[in-house]
Structure 1
Amino acid sequence: MQSKSPLRIAIVGGGIAGVALALDLCRHAHLQVQLFESAAAFGEVGAGVSFGANAVRAIAGLGLGEPYRQIADQTPAPWQDVWFEWRRGVDAGYLSASVAPGVGQSSVHRADFLDALASRLPDGIACFGKRAVQVTQQAERLQIRFSDGTEHECDLLIGADGIKSSIRDHVLQGLGQPPAAPQFSGTCAYRGLIDSEILRGAYRERGLDEHLIDVPQMYLGLDAHILTFPVKHGRLINVVAFTTDRSRPDPQWPADQPWVRQASQAEMLDAFSGWSEAAQVLLECIPTPSLWALHDLAELPGYVHGRVALIGDAAHAMLPHQGAGAGQGLEDAWLLARLLGDPQLLDAEVPLMLAAYDAVRRPRACQVQRTSRQAGELYELRDPATAADQARLGQTLAQRFDWLWNHDLAADLQQARRRLGWLQTA
């Protein structure tokens, strides 16, 4: 590193992507890292989160493979390679399975994973109660103003502050673009965690196959679908039951309503009346579900302005239908960490480096956003090519995710380095 002083990097947002990036960057002597989180402590909402093979590779590449393995769930043998089995919602009849060799359905509880990451951050890296409200760029320096009146100066800013990002507004304004607000998808999701032994007992009582508990399942129906997979080393079953209102082309979520609220079991069961007994019993084991209004972002025209870059949901918040949202944030973090950690990076090259990040990551993340929306149409029997052809539906589902999981992260890095004219490093 030829700079006289360390490159000062600020990360705004203490979710999975932001903390994973901070962990990798703080290993380098030429980088000075500070992470700012608006909450009083690290914390994740939600329950189980699934990682595809691409995300598991990114986790390992960030040096987090061992802590991840300690808490991750995997489907038991001989189904360890199964991501989901696909079934008809009306009778639980088998359609096909998606198989990810060596990974299968790799999942964790969101809060557990963030705890595992945050516990490894060196003291002094994280600052809490810091909500960014304004960013100013002047020449080679940045200034962040926080809602408590304090300020922080840095050389580079990473916005990892989620779907409601304030840093995104600065980037888009700098690009001459209008702000990008989260958009309601028309889909809501009932969520719950079930003690696996309680569910097992309920299935035995009704004579239902316990295989449906042991192996991740996806039940498909018109304008609705249900998924299940284990978390907490199989002690709990994560259940998400999706319903979509297609009565209007531009669905709106009321501005005065929270995105997450408690729902009644009766409301949830009514939404899935007429579904298979396996699905009904599953939902009957969730006495107090929560209801989530699913929002995503339109594909952005850029993730970078000057010395500011967006990662994770701030850049490409997507629907959960491919289990890919957190994984895309980790791919962002992996590539940025490799570029920022490279001793060939000079301070004056920061905007060029971020432009290379944008050029490599944005097409990939936009494709995952787009296909996540399309996956919801497929699951809810609204894809014209497969809705009336179960054999074709099963075949499509079995092969659909290979491109997503088999992505070559090393090739991304080589592409970025070529753009920068960097020599290959070990």
Structure 2
Amino acid sequence: MNNKKPALRIGIIGGGISGVALALGLCRHSHLQVQLFESAPAFGEVGAGVSFGPNAVCAIAGLGLGETYLHVADRTPEPWEDVWFEWRRGSDASYLGATITPGVGQSSVHRADFLDALAAQLPEGITQFGKRATQVDQQSDELKVLFDDGTEYPCDLLIGADGIKSALRNHVLEGQGLAPQAPRFSGTCAYRGMVDSLHLREAFRVHGIDEHLVDVPQMYLGLDGHILTFPVRNGRIINVVAFISDRSQPEPTWPADAPWVREVSQREMLDAFAGWGDAARAVLECIPTPTIWALHDLVELPGYVHGRVVLIGDAAHAMLPHQGAGAGQGLEDAYFLARLLGDTRTDAGNLAELLEAYDNLRRPRACRVQRTSLETGELYELRDPIVGANEQLLGEVLATRFDWLWNHDLDADLTEARARLGWEPRSRGALRQG
């Protein structure tokens, strides 16, 4: 007599970093049958450099992807290897302080490089391209996702990793009796570009600027704007993002028919930062054809789960990039679900309890990261209600502001989740919020 339980069928919608990382974390388990669906004809990431804090690096390692990441990742060079960012006044590049991350520093990677390295490890046949989800049909004994090509996929669990414009998010919210939620414009736009580091060095020499500012991640701060730089691709390229905020409207809107990303002239970008200092201007003058990005995020959602459909990454908690934490939160989601779903004690009978644990343990933390990401942008741009333009206080706050985010114990969350599932005893004195 064969008592072996049928494999859990898991569908993942979205082939970005979070979705692919989760697929890799799940597909090695024989009790799981995984399919990854991507709407594009091939894997691809929008954007350039992305930063990962110690929490995200831990999640990557926990997913078994640590070596893959280290192969393509960049670190701040010695002797500044523990520096996350140095903080400088935008008007003259005067030093305000630094944020130190021992053992990690500024751990960053080119998005496309990382996704390519992950996708190369996916087993053949696990991914289907050109699959845009349009509808979810969820009944008591059946779950299936329908695609715009007329096909469908029946599964036991459906995971929405399809980004800020998620097709699955409103299904989850409506299932909870809640109103749909669309991305909201933040009032902040970001000019982006990738600069050859040799070109930037030469520009700094012309202006008499210390080349240290090329080698070490920098953040130039000013009223209603800030500019960050950090090296990627082994220091050959400098990733540049220049943020400018319009706070004239309490609820800013972005035209519905306007693209979120477009090319602009260098003159437009330089005009936006008129009056900034030589270092900041020299960086921007090295970007001949910048793109401008309209930054959107989501409100904090009251739930990430409906039935057997669950949201992860930007589909659940898209946030502003000011803490370098958005991709990291998606990886924390992937790590949490991969470890629980990969446990052989997981089956159709306890899936609801597992998803409830995910929602209760991951959502408060992700919401806090969303909230503080917005607040951190205010801090950088001298609009924090307490710190304002007080440079001494600004340096002190930035030195420790991110400790709670980076030092979070992911495995403590998993221990608590297993306790809630009755798999192991709860740790004495465990604290479970945020």
TM-score range, shorter chain: over 0.9
**Would you say the 8 A contact 1:108–1:231 is kept in 2?**
yes
Q: Taking structure 1 as reference, are residues 298 and 208 closer, same or farther at Cα in structure 2, changes over 3 Å only? A: same
**Would you say the 8 A contact 2:383–2:389 is kept in 1?**
no
The alignment of Structure 1 onto Structure 2 pairs a total of residues equal to 425
* Structure 1 residue 3 displacement after superposition: 5.8
Matched, 1:236 2:204: no
Structure 2 residue identity aligned to 1:18: G
Range moving further from structure 2, 237-246 or 136-145: 136-145
Q: Taking structure 1 as reference, are residues 161 and 265 closer, same or farther at Cα in structure 2, changes over 3 Å only? A: same
Q: Deviations over 1:47-92 (max 9, x none)?
A: 0000000000000000000010011000101100000000110111
User: What CA distance in whole angstroms lies between the structure 2 residues aligned with 1:85 and 1:11?
Assistant: 38
**Normalising by structure 2, what TM-score?**
0.97
Structure 1 residue identity aligned to 2:318: A
Please give the secondary structure, in 2, of the residue aligned with 1:347: coil
Q: Which residue of 2 aligns with 1:392?
A: 393
Q: Which residue of 2 aligns with 1:164?
A: 165
Q: Which residue of 2 aligns with 1:119?
A: 120
* Structure 1 residue 181 displacement after superposition: 0.3
Please give the secondary structure, in 2, of the residue aligned with 1:348: coil
Q: Deviations over 1:267-321 (max 9, x none)?
A: 0001111111000111000000000000000000000011110000000000000
Matched, 1:373 2:374: yes
Q: Which residue of 1 aligns with 2:415?
A: 414
Please give the secondary structure, in 1, of the residue aligned with 2:350: helix
Alignment of 1:126-145 (within 5 A): 126-145=127-146
Alignment of 1:74-93 (within 5 A): 74-93=75-94
* Structure 1 residue 404 displacement after superposition: 0.4
Alignment of 1:317-356 (within 5 A): 317-356=318-357
* Structure 1 residue 388 displacement after superposition: 3.4
Q: Deviations over 1:157-205 (max 9, x none)?
A: 0000000001111100101001110000000000000000011111112
User: What CA distance in whole angstroms lies between the structure 2 residues aligned with 1:401 and 1:165?
Assistant: 28
Q: Which residue of 2 aligns with 1:212?
A: 213
Aligned-residue sequence identity (percent) comes to 72
Q: Which residue of 2 aligns with 1:182?
A: 183
**Would you say the 8 A contact 1:3–1:347 is kept in 2?**
no
Alignment of 1:178-327 (within 5 A): 178-327=179-328
Q: Which residue of 2 aligns with 1:37?
A: 38
* Structure 1 residue 4 displacement after superposition: 2.2
* Structure 1 residue 2 displacement after superposition: 7.0
Please give the secondary structure, in 2, of the residue aligned with 1:416: helix
**Normalising by structure 1, what TM-score?**
0.98
Q: Which residue of 1 aligns with 2:383?
A: 382
Range moving further from structure 2, 347-356 or 79-88: 347-356
Q: Which residue of 1 aligns with 2:58?
A: 57
* Structure 1 residue 424 displacement after superposition: 6.9
Matched, 1:358 2:359: yes
Question: Where does structure 1 differ by over 3 angstroms across 4 or more consecutive aligned residues?
Answer: none
Please give the secondary structure, in 2, of the residue aligned with 1:157: strand
**Would you say the 8 A contact 2:190–2:242 is kept in 1?**
yes
**Would you say the 8 A contact 1:223–1:382 is kept in 2?**
yes
User: What CA distance in whole angstroms lies between the structure 2 residues aligned with 1:71 and 1:353?
Assistant: 33
Q: Taking structure 1 as reference, are residues 77 and 365 closer, same or farther at Cα in structure 2, changes over 3 Å only? A: same
* Structure 1 residue 418 displacement after superposition: 1.4
User: What CA distance in whole angstroms lies between the structure 2 residues aligned with 1:287 and 1:69?
Assistant: 31
Q: Taking structure 1 as reference, are residues 3 and 47 closer, same or farther at Cα in structure 2, changes over 3 Å only? A: same
